[in-house]
Chains A and B, each alone.
Chain A
Amino acid sequence: MTPFSRRNVLLALLAAAILLPPFANVYQLFVANLIVIYVLLAIGLNILVGYAGQLAFANAAMFGIGAYATGLLQVQLGWSFWAAFPCGALIAAVVGLALSLPALRLSGLYLALSTLAFAQATQWVFLHWESVTFGAGGFKTPPLSFAPLPVDKPLGLYYLSLALAVALFLFAHNLVASRVGRAFVAVRDGEVAAESLGVDLLRTKALAFGISGFYAGVAGGLYSAMLNFVAPEGFDLFQMVLHKAMIVVGGLGSVVGSVLGAGVIIVLLEVLRAFKGLQEIVFGALLVVFVLFMRGGLIAVIKRHVRGWEEPLRLVQPPPTRPEAAPAQAQAPASVAER
């Protein structure tokens, strides 16, 4: 019996999330929606940084590209949100894919710095290509309507975000426990050995970059709809630290950890909203403390104390009904096995 297993806890959280709106005021619904959006983003980033081990700092840029693309397609080209949104996400995914090319030649520090430089360049474009992006002041996006459904925008957007988050969570959850997920971890833990087993580095890295770009793009599109406004300062350096803090605090290399991390960080962010300087100190310190003392993040702590939170990298079939299926009692033929 594992009452507090991951499945049960997540289902409970989901139920709470679904039932939340009637009990929440406007601000609380806003924060909840924000959490859901960042959950999406954190899952994608964790796949790239935590699973595939690619130290990339371009996530805030892709978040921004998703938001800008979604917004600009509506404002400049008159598209409806429902057409602009998937396109925005795809554009962010493509940009992510493009970033995987330098990732082949560069690794570790060089990759971190080049993606950081790329993120800065993206900010620059948002700020200075004023004819298209409206510059530093940003721009408003057209109001979103969920007609013919009888829901108002905040509610509709909340449920849309939630549905997308659940779907993409499940997708990621399946993905990491598969040949693809194992290829990611192989590239992270031993590139040369992975290659010797036939893992194509370019394809694997491209996939990881593309996925994180897509997830960030989806999050960005939703974000632009939520605020009805897009401006460069939402996607700056501070955002980058925020994203990294989410996956480090939640737990690198864990899909559930991303959910946890996003929740914790957003709540903290709102609590500290009044003092930007304090936010920087707290999130910076969180990064340092977790990296030094809690490398596995919160999820590692949970895994140690509560049963049912394992995240295997393979599809674990449900155990047969007979109890002796447990720890392998196969006879080890040679004595190679003992220590």
Chain B
Amino acid sequence: MSAAVLSVRDLHIGFGGVKVLEGIDLEVRRGEIRGLIGPNGAGKTTLLNVICGIHRPQQGDIVLNGTSVVGRKPSAIARLGLGRTFQTSQLFRGMTVLENMMTGLHRQTHTGLISAGLDLKRRRREEAQMEKAALDALAFVGMSEFADRPATALSFGQQRVVEIARTLIGEPAVVLMDEPAVGLSANRLTELDALLRRIRDQKGVTLILIEHVIRLVMDVCDQVTVLSSGRCIADGPPEAVRNDRNVIEAYLGKELRARHQAS
């Protein structure tokens, strides 16, 4: 089989009689950065939600690293190697940046009720390891100096970066990102671009990004999938997709497409 780390096959989902996704097929190769774009209401966030287990599809299969994940709990799917970032900051407000990072290591660590409560050596050892790993991960994204600051003290862009780091520290195989670039200034965008490349190159993590900032998608994605009204209407390298007439029509409507062709 291909080196697909995530496959979605013939996915259908609807809510209360309204079909949101129909017949979605997706194959994402290991180490790829895949862009997921489309007009509002196309179903992109729903697709992410189905993949990570928040919703259950009516039909279809999702295979992560060779294991089918349809119907499993989100925490179970996370433990199989799936990470996720969200549109709005989901850093844990009651923790510092470092504590947030250490929480990212939850699924690889084992300290439980008894070893924690009784302060056994096992716990101390694991805490020290977690702290070190968290500091290293913060250094990778250049946020070391914020380790002991409360998560709420960071700016929006900084929180975004820490959230990405928190997802990465668990060493997932695939990370789903929901509009990582939203609200970022031009400078931050460039940094995000570089960060995403570093993640792919140095960590070998596969990324799937929902994005509206087309510039970022064109620059950093290896392949782009376009959704519109719940269906996949294009799938290919960024340049090809950009000029695909179905895509232009989906975004701009038939009339403008005609004008675009004429010019």
Contacts and interface: CB of A to CB of B under 8 A. Distances in A.
Q: Is A in direct contact with B (CB under 8 Å) within the complex?
A: yes
Contacts, number: 160
B75 A336 contact: no
B170 A198 contact: yes
A333 B99 contact: no
B239 interface: no
A239 B130 CA distance: 41
Q: Chain A: interface residue count, which band?
A: 35 or more
A210 to B, nearest CB: 9
A201 interface: yes
Interface in B69-115: 73-76, 78-79, 82-84, 86, 90-96, 98-99, 102-107, 109-113
B126 interface: yes
Given A332-B143, A337-B145, A189 B167 contact: no
A198 B158 CA distance: 23
Interface in B142-181: 142-148, 155, 157-158, 161, 166-167, 170
B98 A314 contact: yes
Contact of A336 (B93, B128, B158): B158
Contact of A196 (B52, B105, B110): B52
B77 to A, nearest CB: 9
Contacts of B130: 179, 314
Contacts of A201: 75
B258 interface: no
Contacts of B105: 179
Contacts of B117: 171-172, 174-175
Nearest to A172: B117
Contact of B106 (A179, A211, A335, A336): A179
Best-buried of A170, A193, A333 by chain B (most CB within 10 Å): A193
Interface residues of B, number: 64
A240 to B, nearest CB: 24
Given A180-B111, A195-B78, A315 B124 contact: yes
B182 interface: no
Interface in A152-206: 170-172, 174-175, 178-183, 185-186, 188-190, 192-201
Contacts of A181: 116
A337 B111 contact: no
B158 A174 contact: no
B111 A178 contact: yes
B262 interface: no
Contact of A198 (B75, B139, B143): B75
Contact of B158 (A193, A197, A312, A337): A337
B80 to A, nearest CB: 9
Contact of A328 (B94, B95, B147): B147
Contacts of B170: 197-198
Contact of B84 (A196, A211, A317): A196
Contacts of B195: 336
Interface string B175-216: 000000000000110010011000000000000000000000
A109 interface: no
B113 A182 contact: no
B118 interface: yes
B158 A182 contact: no
Interface string A301-338: 00000000000111101000000000110101111110
A58 B155 CA distance: 39
Given A197-B78, A336-B142, A315 B106 contact: no
Given A178-B116, A195-B74, A197-B78, A330 B145 contact: yes
Given A192-B86, A199-B106, A315-B124, 14 more contacts: A178-B116, A179-B116, A179-B126, A181-B116, A194-B92, A195-B75, A197-B170, A199-B103, A313-B96, A314-B99, A314-B131, A333-B142, A334-B141, A339-B155
The 4 closest A-B pairs by CB, nearest first: A198-B107, A178-B116, A193-B90, A189-B92
9 contacts: A179-B109, A179-B130, A193-B84, A197-B78, A199-B103, A200-B73, A314-B102, A332-B145, A337-B146
